[in-house]
Structure 1
């Protein structure tokens, strides 16, 4: 299984606070050394763009999020990791999924680059889902199920493993309100390999 160096290149600088009210959470962004063709600042820009979107966690007044540099106080770090390092940072060793473990939001580079089969939306939409889902865990949200056939999948549904009749949707909010499904998860098999 592909494994990088287990050390990190952090994105430089920070950015403005996203969100008008709510608890402020500061985050850093880092890319594992050994990952080629993805620079920390470019990855951080995509993460920040997603988390600053009004459809993301900052859009309903409960949370404010701010990216900070590596020397600043922070509440969590978004890591882009190789599948092997993902296994060292996350519970379980599937090498396929991403996770949140404590203050670590761990995004698997294999999912970032390739997405997942049968997602039914462009790679950029999958990346938005991936960021919002794992950050959602850091903000205290658990897994959810599809609320009904043909409906958008809640962002806390494990869309990486299957949609279960829902259509892909990468945002926590719809029309400015938190969009949720029933609590729980499916017993989906985890695909082999990255």
Structure 2
């Protein structure tokens, strides 16, 4: 009897030990708990899909179809004497900008008595017909403007505007944002970039800053920095042509 009880007790003890070991093994191989659910955007970032997948929102498109809509109508002839330079205005489709609105700004700048007509040696007029225009002012997305400028061998890196014979190409990014540390309102930069690029179309070359604190000549490359000058959008200041030293070859 005593031997049977010992055997029974020993068997029960072994069975309990085996059961405990099996339970521990089950805990070791059990599938880990599912992670807490996350929002779809968080999941994309966690897997490296959302972060850096596209540029920060700019509020305007950086590329477009490369097709343009022209502004309607004609402006009055502006200026006092000299040859008439007729221009057309076009805005890239899908840019979010209105062709007639952009044209109104271009008209206002070129008709201002501080602009190129102040020389008394030329006049300007906007026209709607391509055949009647001597040059066209384009507003183009950064990628499109880069492609257009590259056709004339100019490198803009999607950043600057440019001028090719018969084509003044304004970069939408600069039109919307100007440039860092410009130190003047956006409207001043917009006036500058129109006068600068149209100045090239009229035969003007780049000029240098005259000195620290002086107004920047309109033909200075103000987009790349003011070099100590202060922002200035006009070729004529206080009724006189305002210039800096020529920059050789550009």
Tell me whether the two structures share a fold, i.e. TM-score over 0.5: yes
1:43 to 1:155, Cα distance in 2 relative to 1, 3 A: same
Point out the structure with the larger helix share: 2
Whole-angstrom distance in 2 between the partners of 1:152 and 1:105: 24
Aligned to 2:4: none
Pick from 142, 146, 149: which aligns with 1:87?
A: 146
TM superposition shift of 1:143:
0.5
2:56 matches 1:4: no
TM superposition shift of 1:93:
4.3
TM-score (normalised: structure 2): 0.72
| Structure 1 runs of 4+ with >3 Å offset | none
Higher relative contact order (CA 8 A, sep 6+): 1
Structure number with larger C-alpha Rg: 2
Aligned to 2:198: 135
Are 2:84 and 2:125, in contact at CA under 8 Å, matched by a contact in 1? yes
* Superimposed CA distance per residue, residues 110-147 of structure 1 (whole angstroms, 9 cap, x where no aligned partner): 00011111001100000000000000000000100001
Aligned to 1:101: 164
Aligned to 2:182: 119
Aligned to 2:134: 75
Whole-angstrom distance in 2 between the partners of 1:93 and 1:125: 21
Aligned to 2:92: 32
TM superposition shift of 1:76:
0.4
Aligned to 1:47: 106
Q: What is the aligned residue count?
A: 184
Aligned to 2:27: none
Are 2:88 and 2:130, in contact at CA under 8 Å, matched by a contact in 1? no
Q: What do you get for the CA RMSD once the two structures are aligned?
A: 1.3
Whole-angstrom distance in 2 between the partners of 1:178 and 1:120: 23
Are 1:60 and 1:176, in contact at CA under 8 Å, matched by a contact in 2? no
Q: Structure 1, unaligned stretches of length 5 or more?
A: 186-194
Are 2:211 and 2:229, in contact at CA under 8 Å, matched by a contact in 1? yes
* Superimposed CA distance per residue, residues 144-170 of structure 1 (whole angstroms, 9 cap, x where no aligned partner): 000111110000000011000100000
2:15 matches 1:15: no
Are 1:9 and 1:30, in contact at CA under 8 Å, matched by a contact in 2? yes
Q: Structure 2, unaligned stretches of length 5 or more?
A: 1-54, 56-61
